[in-house]
Amino acid sequence: EAQVTQNPRYLITVTGKKLTVTCSQNMNHEYMSWYRQDPGLGLRQIYYSMNVEVTDKGDVPEGYKVSRKEKRNFPLILESPSPNQTSLYFCASSPNDLSQPQHFGDGTRLSIL
């Protein structure tokens, strides 16, 4: 089954404690992206990657890092999380032709205390 898998689904943690949210896709997609969803703001793009070893900033990259060492994986790293990063996070993938739809994971709800 074609899917994008995020882990963990839920996490409560404290300010400053490094965390990583993993994202993996099994569709051999070149393109992967991370978004955060906040009430009234919709989805905002954090980082995206159009292929292995190629990453670019989206609209809200501050406080986040990503890496793309393999095609299937695109982890999101919060080196020193802060409460304003409390949000619902989505990973997505697609072929590199962005007229094609994104396939989304089920989301990760992060609470930073």
Partner 1 sequence: GDSVTQMEGPVTLSEEAFLTINCTYTATGYPSLFWYVQYPGEGLQLLLKATKADDKGSNKGFEATYRKETTSFHLEKGSVQVSDSAVYFCALSESGNTGKLIFGQGTTLQVKP
What is the C-alpha separation between 5 and 91, in angstroms, rounded? 8
Q: Select 28 or 82, whichever has its Cβ closest to partner 1.
A: 28
Taking residues 27 to 66 in sequence order and writing x for each that binds partner 1 by CB under 8 A, - otherwise, the string is ----x-x-x----xxxxxx--x-x-----x-xx-------
Residue 105 binds partner 1 (CB under 8 A): yes
Residues within window 60-89 making contact with partner 1, judged by CB under 8 A: none
Provide the b/e sequence for 50-84 (b: ≥16 CB within 10 Å).
eeeeebeebebbeebebebeebbbbbbebeebeee
- Measuring CA to CA, which residue among 89, 68, 91, 65 is closest to residue 78? 65
Interaction site with partner 1 (CB under 8 A)? 4, 31, 33, 35, 40-45, 48, 50, 56, 58-59, 90, 92, 96-99, 101-102, 104-107
